[in-house]
Each structure stands twice: as structure tokens, then as C-alpha cells.
Amino acid sequence: MADRLKVIAEPKRLLILHLLMEGVQCNCELGDALQMPANLISHHLAKLRAAGLVDAERDAVDSRWVYYSVNRTALVELNAAFEAFFDPARIKPRRPTCGPQALIVASDVVTSK
Amino acid sequence: MADRLKVIAEPKRLLILHLLMEGVQCNCELGDALQMPANLISHHLAKLRAAGLVDAERDAVDSRWVYYSVNRTALVELNAAFEAFFDPARIKPRRPTCGPQALIVASDVVTSK
DNA sequence: TTTATAATTCAATACATGTTGAACTATTTT
DNA sequence: AAAATAGTTCAACATGTATTGAATTATAAA
């Protein structure tokens, strides 16, 4: 979970992901939009690909060009995992096991209040 | 968005958040559970508090003790923001503006296909 | 009043990683 | 065959931040 979050917790990568969702695709276009050198885009795209969030596909006519796209399945899975972990309903009430509160609770048990 | 994600993208902080959701509360208890020194726990808790995800409250009887808890409102808001940004429905179809594909699309427009 | 406790703050270090520039690969064009 | 293009890979550097240990604060107990 932390690994996946780290990948998307980087500002530039978030922007790249955003642009990919908007339909932007190739390295050069991302570079123009984000004012970043191509090699840096490559670096971030590699991380996004390693995380399975982004797919790459070469052009059928001119294979020098690579088109990137967001992996919809991975995004769905990410959403599910995030929602499961950060679900507010998971918050349990206080369970004092140390400090003065723990003693009070313990005495309640003893006196059967 | 990236700032908030960075805070929760740290493994130890994720664990702390998890334990807080389970009802664990004070620094010492977290330290025992995670095998970490108290000052490090403090450091991570400070980041979580700065992000508004965690609240702190001193014991009424013995104010040396501090009880931490997850801010439910912040968690709800975080969930909403995450879902909005990473919503798979946001993924738009390809919009080729460079590369051979762009030329093909352009010629389609010209020939009114 | 002295000692112990819970927690924080501070300075220094270690480590991870984003950034930079150059070299490199593969393909297409001239 | 040579030059150009899209993209990647590599090594060095810069930066942020988690970690460590010691010092500090504030309160409670002896």
C-alpha cells in the first residue's frame, strides 16, 4: 500500500497521470506540457509503469513513438484498496491499555460497574 | 493533493494510522507495538497532525499522557478527494496531437471521413 | 525537594530519490 | 550511408526526510 502511494505522491507524477487521463499520450507532449526534459518524463513514466498504473504501446506505423495510457483496472483496484484502508467506518472507539485511563477502566471491571 | 499523499505514503506512518484506527492511543503504546523510539513516533505524529489527519488530547487526570485519535472528518475529506482524482471514469479517449496518429486524424478531417 | 515519567525538541547523520547532462539504442528520413 | 528523431539508460549531483542520540519541558510521585 505504502509503495503504491509513494509512486503517486510525487507532484510531477500526479500531473503526468492527470494529463494521461485527459488523453495526452507521448513523451514529447508531456514534456511540452510540463516543461520537463524527456529523460525525466521517462524516469517518472518508468515508475508509473512499474506500479502497473500506466501502459505503454508503440506506434504501428512509426515505432519510434510510444503512446502511454492509464491502466483502468489498476486504477479501479487502487481506489478499492484506498477506500478499504482509509474507510472512516474502520475507526474503532478508544481502547485504553496504558495511562491513568487504563487504571480507571480496570477498576471499573473489578468493581463491576 | 501530493502533499497529503506524501504524509500517508510513509510505511511507519501508515502503521501508526492503522493502530490509531484500531483504538491504540498513546506514544508509549505505539512505540511498543512498532518497536520504535518515542521521539520517532513523535516526529511522525507531528506530520500526521500537521496534515490534520490526527488529533491530540492530554489526559485530564495526568496531563503527561497524550491520547491521539484519527480525525474522522479529515479522513472523509481525504477519501472524497482521492476518489475524485483517481476516478476511472475520468479517463478520456486518446487525443493524438503529435506523432503519425495525429497526421492520420488530421487527414481524416480534411477528407471528411 | 529530589527523582521518575511521558513526551517533545534539537542537531547531526544516513538514506532514498528527484534532477541533470551526456551517452546510447532503435527507427525513420534524406 | 548519413543525419535526424523519439525515447531510454547511465553516472553524478542535489535535495528532502527518516533516523539516531542527547538535551529539554512539564507534570507527577517519592
* Nucleotide with the nearest C1' to A99 CA: C6
* Protein-contacted positions of strand D (CB under 7 Å): 5-10, 17-23, 26-29
pTM: predicted TM-score of the whole model, two decimal places:
0.88
Q: Evaluate if residue A109 carries a pLDDT over 70.
A: no
* Protein-contacted positions of strand C (CB under 7 Å): 5-10, 17-23, 26-29
Across B7-16, average pLDDT: 97
Across A96-102, average pLDDT: 78
Distance between CA atoms of B55 and B69, rounded to whole angstroms?
Answer: 5
pLDDT, averaged across chain B = 89
Distance between CA atoms of B22 and A85, rounded to whole angstroms?
Answer: 12
Q: What's the CA–C1' distance between B64 and D25, in Å? A: 11
Across B45-61, average pLDDT: 95
pLDDT band for position A106 (50/70/90)?
low
DSSP string, chain B: -HHHHHHHTSHHHHHHHHHHHHT--SHHHHHHHHT--HHHHHHHHHHHHHTTSEEEEE-SS-TT-EEEEE-HHHHHHHHHHHHHHS-GGG-PPP---SSHHHHHHHHHHHHT-
